[in-house]
Homo-oligomer: A and B are copies of this chain.
């Protein structure tokens, strides 16, 4: 039943090297790295030169290579390589969230067409085996809520600013020095990276295909001192949450920072850790916590995929064929806390349900329910900071019944 696998690696950065370490230091896995395709042959490497090539054809054309393990940053090149690998009858393991989130439909078509599986546990939440658990464990439970801290660098920054009193700039710098944040942190702090991961999770948790750009996205880059003091005064922490909420046949999903009280599952998830909280109808509340990034943690997620290939594992995408799957909806409201300079134009009338405000010389803070479309507009503004209110659950806008319409 177990097969010996021969691997071709594309990319030998942090995750590739982590995988190599895990592979060579763990026992019992009859798996061999045949060749590693790299972009920069001039860099000094920890392995003999014979392992490396700059020509991907050396991997794709090698009939003895069963699996292409794609671990490069560039999503477009990754997508090219993955297509070619499948066309050549090779299984694929990838950790490229952007590529998977962007091309999931096509990936599934190619998987079926060429009969080879594509696995990508390492693409979402590093070491946390969340996709496999959604696929295998939750295939028969109805998930009503999923909330995740899916980006380690922003969680590191939020931990430092809200628990250690550092400034946003200081915390970001520290995250970069420690290797948790990219030199261009836009993808993380503006919430793009979490939309890739949430997009993938929605498919496995709810059977829905929602493209990353269809998701409402609020970053943490406008975080203000006023937000931090509000959090402190109310014993709250701020977490960047990729959330999905099912109400009947509607599914609302968004990426946004939120204030969390100490009763919230994600409150105690700190620094570079990731976490996913899942509420199933029957399993009730479950929490998965683990390192969201880094060579070894992500390497071990990649290795678990490779290991599963030896048993011919593939994702069944069972939720996508269930009749009861919900419909993605943007027609919803959610309670937010907004803060801005007192001069900024924002008024109680912009809220669907205004709850209250507070104004001092530096800051104007308003709290209340807004529509997701208002939220989307505001998220593009430079002059306001938006954080979901403690306990906020996005809710569908009720469609008035016929009688009510007639009466109105």
- Enumerate chain A interface residues (CB-CB to B < 8 A): 18, 21-22, 25-29, 127-129, 132-133, 136-137, 139-142, 265, 267-268, 280-291, 294, 296-297, 299-301, 303-304, 307-308, 318, 321-324
Contacts and interface: CB of A to CB of B under 8 A. Distances in A.
Contact of A300 (B18, B283, B289): B283
B140 A307 contact: yes
Contacts of A318: 28
A267 B268 CA distance: 9
A307 B265 CA distance: 28
Nearest to A290: B286
Nearest to A262: B268
Contacts of A141: 22, 26, 300, 303
Main secondary structure of the interface of A (DSSP, over half): mixed
A283 B289 contact: no
B323 A27 contact: yes
A283 B127 contact: yes
A59 B100 CA distance: 47
Given A282-B299, A300-B282, A129 B137 contact: yes
Contacts of A137: 129, 132, 304
A381 B291 CA distance: 42
B307 A282 contact: no
A359 B356 CA distance: 55
Given A127-B286, A284-B291, A322 B28 contact: yes
Contacts of A139: 28, 304, 307
A26 B304 contact: no
Give the most central of A26, A137, A289: most B CB within 10 Å: A137
B322 A140 contact: no
B283 A140 contact: no
Given A28-B322, A29-B140, A136-B132, A283 B287 contact: no
Contacts of A27: 322-324
A260 to B, nearest CB: 12
Contacts of A301: 283
11 contacts: A25-B282, A26-B140, A26-B282, A28-B322, A139-B307, A140-B304, A265-B289, A280-B300, A283-B296, A286-B288, A287-B289
Nearest to A133: B129
Which 5 interchain pairs have the tightest Cβ spacing?
Answer: A287-B289, A286-B290, A282-B300, A127-B283, A283-B300
